[in-house]
Amino acid sequence: MANATLVHEEIIAPRTPKSLLGAKFAVLGVIWLSSALILRGNSTLPLDRSSLTSVHTWLSGLSSAIDRNRNSNPFFVNTIDKIRSSINTFVNLLQDAISQGTATRSVPQIGWLGVVAIIGLVVALWASIRVAILAVAGFITLGLLGLWQESMDTLALTLAAVVLSLLIGIPFGVLAGLFPKFEKLITPVLDFAQVMPTFVYLTPVTLFFLIGPASATIVTLIYSIPPALRITAVAIREVPWSTVEASISMGSTRWQALRKVQLPQAKRTIVVGINQTIMAALSMVTIAALIDAPGLGRVVVQALETLNVGRSFQAGLAIVIMAVVLDRSTTAAAAKVQIATSHKKPVSRRVTRSTKWLGLAITLVAIYLSNVYLWASQFPGAGLLGIKVAAIADSATGWIQLHLVTVTNGLTNIFSYGLINPIQSVLVDAPWYTTAAALVLTGYLLKGTRLAAVVAICIAILLVSGLWSDSMVTLAATLVAALITVVLGIAVGTWVGRSMRVDRILRPILDAGQVMPAFVYLVPFLGLFGATRFTAIMAAVVYASPAAIKLVADGIRSVPESITEAAISAGSNTWQLITKVQLPSARRAIALAINQGLIYVLAMVVVGGLVGAGGLGYLVVAGFAQENLKGKGLAAGVAIVMLGIMIDRITQAVADRRDVHAKTIR
């Protein structure tokens, strides 16, 4: 076995400059930690949430000036207000169409029965009858939970954002797929939009568009356009050029080749992009409740503010149901398109012509009934299922807090005093220049002066913002959560990657974890641990883990069988095979898992400002709630962006170096 290990190390991990780089990072870490401990308390930037710097005052003044001149400035009157009014009109039309009856309007256009029938018909035609049954059952459950109107408000906002995102994202995606220079031009903008935590969009958008449905739709657009655009570009590029050339040689114009060849062949991937756009929109719409967006997100926010675990769990369950229904419907539609495009012969229709007409007739009858009878308009019952769910959640939470308080407090104290506090203390109490120098040198060692300059600019903006200490608090929580996420991702991801049975068991759980909006993760941990930093960190771990586990699992599965078979034949046991062969060979996937884990964690830690996480997330929330802290909230949003860019660029550089190293070895 010693010989086998030696041979493997010579093939997989030879002594290269990478080892020297590791030694340099080790020395840098020792120097930074030593200087931070020796100079602790000197040249620090204290944490004082009540103080306002000149930057905060200037930003508050800018916000006040915009508010004062909103009704007289031509840019706002002729452009911003018209955009806001148009989007509000569009959203209101969708809301009115599916709004249940009220005392003033007892007969709506489409009541709950009509909405359920339409959803069932559309999903049956677009996906399959089995998924349609799931969709109908899911939406009926929303009504039984007593949250039908809130669910329809969320659905209306999501549909409005998705329609607008696709109208913008698909055409621009086609252009990006056809013209590489255009794609290169917009890539930094897309990267910036996707790296920014969702929380950060809220403040600047409300500064221009005020709070309400229009602002909620616009922040959702910013978040959901990139996946639609990028996946469409990939779909266009994946069409074989030989097929396009054959079409052109037969007399087709470039436009005809695009319309009749490229777009039809790219349809399946574009449907996948629609799926991702829908899920991104739903996630952002719930968070947009912080800027007065109607729907389920508002119920969650109100419940979190009052620490009403039962109510928040009830609304969180409704969000999960809607997310699962939308995800399964679009995923099944993509699979149906793939089957249709991969067969030369027509695919047997899952929905026959007579069934389609029957479904259409039933839908029309349901819409008619919802316009005539109040029972078909307003969802019957008083949400008894929702009341029971909330009561069960409250009872379970009370039992845990009463009987397992030693366990929950013990976990909180172990992580707080053993991990979070020491890291936060070092980062906050260290002289700012030692941490700044260490980060800049890290960028230089990884990718030279260009990355070092990017890191230096981010640090300079953090310093100018006057929120260095708050940024270090957020960074400490992010590092702790990312550490747990990476460990969990490598351990579980290796297990999943090595066993198809485990993959079949855990894959649905991981898929469900990725479709749930960020708000939902706060609910169970709030019930278990209360409003603490530990709650935000654990929610961030659960939020980020599915992506990390999937990346590691895919990396393990991508290791060539010849390498694993050679190691086994040389006498490697399971532990040696994992640690000496599979994990080193999957280093690129692990590096990507670290990158995605950190970005996901940062986004969730910031949202954790709602439940006592502190740091920059708390300041963003405070900026919404208190007029005198609006400027500080804006500065906190900028600081979060700088942290996100810095973390993303450094971890991407690590992944790129590992990729180059792996190619060199091959």
Residue 559 in domain = yes
- The 10 Å Cβ neighbour count of residue 457 is 13
Q: Can you state the angle between helices 468-498 and 432-465, rounded to 10 degrees?
A: 110
What domain range is 228 assigned to?
87-399
Task: Choose one of 345, 375, 399: the last residue of a domain.
Answer: 399
CB-based burial of residue 181 (10 Å sphere; 0-12 exposed, 13-18 middle, 19+ buried)?
exposed
Q: Can you state the angle between helices 198-209 and 630-665, rounded to 10 degrees?
A: 140
Averaged pLDDT in 10-residue chunks for the chain of 666 residues: 40 50 84 87 65 79 81 83 88 77 50 89 87 92 90 90 91 89 86 73 81 87 88 84 79 79 82 84 84 85 80 86 87 75 50 78 88 81 81 85 82 85 88 92 90 93 89 90 90 89 82 70 77 84 87 84 82 84 84 81 79 79 77 86 86 70 47
Q: Tell me, what's the pLDDT at 351?
A: 58
Residue 284 in domain = yes
Residue 347 in domain = yes
Collect all residues with Cβ–Cβ distance below 8 Å to 44 and sequence separation of at least 6.
Answer: 428, 429, 430, 431, 432, 469
Residue 77 in domain = no
Q: Are 244 and 256 in contact (CB under 8 A)?
A: no
CA–CA dist 33, 437 (Å, integer): 12
Q: Are 329 and 317 in contact (CB under 8 A)?
A: no
431 with 569, same domain? yes
Q: Tell me, what's the pLDDT at 16?
A: 44
338 with 415, same domain? no
Distances (CA, A) of 440 to 453, 455, 458, 466, 639: 8, 6, 10, 19, 17
Q: Tell me, what's the pLDDT at 13?
A: 38
Residue written as token pair 């532990």? 575
Task: Choose one of 380, 399, 418: the last residue of a domain.
Answer: 399
Q: Tell me, what's the pLDDT at 455?
A: 93
Tokens of 660: 């180059």
Q: Tell me, what's the pLDDT at 138?
A: 92
DSSP 8-class letter at 611: G
Three state DSSP letters for 382-408: CCHHHHHHHHHHHHHHHHHHHHCHHHH
371 with 474, same domain? no
Residue 71 in domain = no
Residue 54 in domain = no
Helices (H), 404-517: 405-415, 421-429, 432-465, 468-498, 500-515
Task: Choose one of 382, 399, 416: the last residue of a domain.
Answer: 399
Residue 567 in domain = yes
Tokens of 558: 């991508």
Q: Tell me, what's the pLDDT at 137?
A: 93
17 with 95, same domain? no
Residue 262 in domain = yes
CATH number of the domain at 567, please. Answer: 1.10.3720.10
- The closest alpha carbon to 115, from 369, 373, 316, belongs to 369
Collect all residues with Cβ–Cβ distance below 8 Å to 181 and sequence separation of at least 6.
Answer: none
Mean pLDDT of the chain: 81
CA–CA dist 93, 38 (Å, integer): 64
385 with 462, same domain? no
Q: Tell me, what's the pLDDT at 338?
A: 67
Q: Tell me, what's the pLDDT at 665?
A: 44
188 with 317, same domain? yes
304 with 439, same domain? no
365 with 442, same domain? no
Q: Tell me, what's the pLDDT at 350?
A: 52
DSSP string, 175-211: HHHH-HHHHHHHHHHHHHHHHS-HHHHHHHHHHHH-S
409 with 387, same domain? no
Q: Tell me, what's the pLDDT at 331?
A: 81
Q: H or E stretch including 589?
A: helix 587-607
Q: Tell me, what's the pLDDT at 515?
A: 66
Q: Tell me, what's the pLDDT at 184?
A: 86
Question: What is the number of structural domains in the chain?
Answer: 2
- The closest alpha carbon to 167, from 97, 82, 225, belongs to 225
454 with 602, same domain? yes
Q: Tell me, what's the pLDDT at 14?
A: 40
> pTM to 2 decimals?
0.77
415 with 387, same domain? no
138 with 223, same domain? yes
